[in-house]
Amino acid sequence: MSSTITILIVDDNPDFCSSLADIVKGLGWKHLICNSPEQAMSLLEKSAPSISLMLLDIEFSTSSLTGIDMLAHSVRAYPTIPVIMISGKGTIENAVKSTKLGAVNFIEKNVLSTDRLREVLRSTVEKINGIRENQELLAIIHQQGIVGRSRAMAAVADKIVRFGKTDLNVLITGETGTGKKLVARALHAVSRRSKYTMVTVDIPNIPRELFQSELFGHVRGAFSGALENKKGLFHQANRGTLFLDEIGDLSPELQANLLLPIEERIVRRVGSVEPEQVDLRFVSATDKDLVEAMKEGEFREQLYHRLRECEVHLPSLADRKEDIPLIVEHYLQDHNTRMEEQKAFAPATIEYLQECSWKGNVRELLSTIRVVLQTTVSAYIEVADVHRMMVAPMTQRMAQQSQAAAAGSGFEFSSDRSLKDDIAIVDKLKIESTLGTCKGNVSKAAAMLGISRETLHNKIRRYGINTHEYRSR
């Protein structure tokens, strides 16, 4: 295996490069030397697949580019090549910046010894071998739009491949915006059922009175309006995968309807007593804590155990910030191809994006990037461009929404009403606005409002709000 390891040394000091080369040769590995970032970039364009690891200096006297610039370029263009930064003027600021941009290590020249470098190189090469073992797994999820090379995402990829090849039911958990739908598609793509259909059941948007008909179908005359026989989503997914999205939003009463069909793969159409066998695999997703929901009596334990034969938990973006440069670059390349542009993010901008708090996870990050790329005139995206789009427009939109809501409702504070009455009116307006944003999803609206679902249900009944009106928008 040692003969396959090639170390690229990038430093403008020939004597230091020679010393590093001797150490690399002593370990039985190959080496290449470049004395400037430009020379290294040119070499990588031709030989990147053969480079196992890069040792990169920070300051270059003969170049306008720094090692930080080179690191940012390498992480974007060649994300599978680990980079160790080696600096004669090591500072905490440079070390932090290098790590955030994706360097695997940072070493100061003045404390660097032969033994220390050998130790770091051996340790990094061991990690490289581990990364190589994960490349096939990461490539599989990348095909489904899931981008990342962090340890957390490697673990997710491993579960997708292992669980996907079985017929076991899989529960996907994680915060909103982490990519649960993409994982469901990946599980289907690696399964033996991939040549058949994956059908998605959008749980929150199926009206209660139509739930059984939508899932199990109905026969002609089963109810008013049933003019012909209809196959349900269970039938449509036969031999494939049925994806139950937002399963945590299903009421306990309707959950009971799923127990037997999931256990025995048998359905009965509404209005029929004839059982029909279906062959399908169930994948479910939720951002709810179903264990806590079971304790509160909001989710049936029998259904939980039927759906969760395996579980894939998606980490939040905060737990894999090292993947942000890759996610940004992936979307950037897609944008440049579609829009026929040549835009790029400054290294400081990538660092800024890594420092931001993305409560909406990857979905929020991609939404921000999309707006910035399409509204920034300059081809080089600076920190100020991102900051301006994240802060100022948000404040403006909130003000506009408040004004529009008040104007549209005709509401004005009045001395003819009590404070309690005015508060009730504002309370109702706020709930209606939030339900509109959440398309009638009461659970999501309650979370946005910072109240319990039970409290929101009570307010909805008190104000006579019809949630179905918002689901059809």
pLDDT the model gives residue 393: 45
* pTM (2 d.p.): 0.61
**Which residues of the chain register pLDDT less than 50?**
1-3, 392-399, 401-402
* Segments of the chain assigned to CATH 3.40.50.300: 151-313
Domain 411-471's class? mainly alpha
The H or E element that residue 56 is part of is strand 53-57
- CATH for 151-313, options being 3.40.50.300, 3.90.79.10, 2.130.10.10, 2.40.37.10: 3.40.50.300
Label residue 406 exposed, middle or buried (CB < 10 Å: 0-12, 13-18, 19+): middle
Q: Is the separation of the CB atoms in 440 and 469 below 8 Å? A: yes
* Segments of the chain assigned to CATH 3.40.50.2300: 2-132
Other beta carbons within 10 angstroms of residue 390's beta carbon come to: 16
Label residue 178 exposed, middle or buried (CB < 10 Å: 0-12, 13-18, 19+): buried
67-120 tens-digit pLDDT: 999 998 898 888 878 899 988 775 778 888 888 888 888 888 877 788 888 888
What's the CA gap between 56 and 51, in Å, rounded?
Answer: 13
CATH of domain 317-390: 1.10.8.60
407-459 tens-digit pLDDT: 555 556 666 667 777 777 888 888 888 888 888 888 778 767 777 777 888 88
- Which neighbouring-strand residues pair with 284? 171, 244
Q: How far is CA 123 from CA 118, 126, 128, 387, in A?
A: 8, 5, 9, 38
pLDDT the model gives residue 398: 43
Contacts of 116 (CB under 8 A, 6+ apart): 107
CATH of domain 2-132: 3.40.50.2300
* Segments of the chain assigned to CATH 1.10.10: 411-471
pLDDT the model gives residue 99: 83
